[in-house]
Chains A and B, each alone.
Chain A
Amino acid sequence: NAGVTQTPKFRVLKTGQSMTLLCAQDMNHEYMYWYRQDPGMGLRLIHYSVGEGTTAKGEVPDGYNVSRLKKQNFLLGLESAAPSQTSVYFCASSRTPSGGGTLAKNIQYFGAGTRLSVL
């Protein structure tokens, strides 16, 4: 059971280049998330998706775009990379809670991360 898989694990970009980070989950989860983690800071939500074909902005969405064409995949795109986007990016997924509770939705399962450097 792979869980949440992120590719690539490492990437170095030059300012202005574009790239796409791929997240795949095999747990049939409805919800998926992209976070970034910077030194001395907690994880900050970039974008999220509550189901196939839907996306929404999180706390720090500027400079990023996302797509959820398939339920199991959530793509994070950088159209024109900037040094401020140097970070570790984590993808996560969670299931829809049953019975109206929110806890199940917020037990999120994370990938191993992508370390991105923008020069």
Chain B
Amino acid sequence: DQQVKQNSPSLSVQEGRISILNCDYTNSMFDYFLWYKKYPAEGPTFLISISSIKDKNEDGRFTVFLNKSAKHLSLHIVPSQPGDSAVYFCAASGKFKSSGGSNYKLTFGKGTLLTVNP
């Protein structure tokens, strides 16, 4: 049961243009959504987040949009730069029960490889 889906394994854009990465989710109880960026041989790094009560959050060239009715979020990068080339993971925060009691965890999508061509 894949609760967070990134249906595009890869995306290629030209430098200076907009990159749009998409993410769909199924669990309406998720309370925060996060985007992580991962370069080869490095761990994921936090990029931007949005609360489930918001519909937009902007940080410099990065904007995340949330459409709760469609259970869809997207990350816009404008303008795209070659240094943005990386794998982008969508993650959703939600409660789960385990041996440690109720806690919050991140559920990650499979990632989208973004390539920005000079």
Contact = CB atoms under 8 A, between A and B. Distances in A.
Interface in A56-105: 56-58, 90, 92, 102-103, 105
Contacts, number: 71
Interface residues of B, number: 29
A106 interface: yes
Interface string B2-14: 0010000100000
A112 B38 CA distance: 10
Interface residues of A, number: 27
B98 A57 contact: yes
Main secondary structure of the interface of B (DSSP, over half): strand
Interface in B23-59: 31-32, 34, 41-46, 49, 51
B110 interface: yes
A41 interface: yes
A105 B104 contact: yes
A19 to B, nearest CB: 20
Interface of B: 4, 9, 31-32, 34, 41-46, 49, 51, 89, 91, 93, 98-101, 103-111
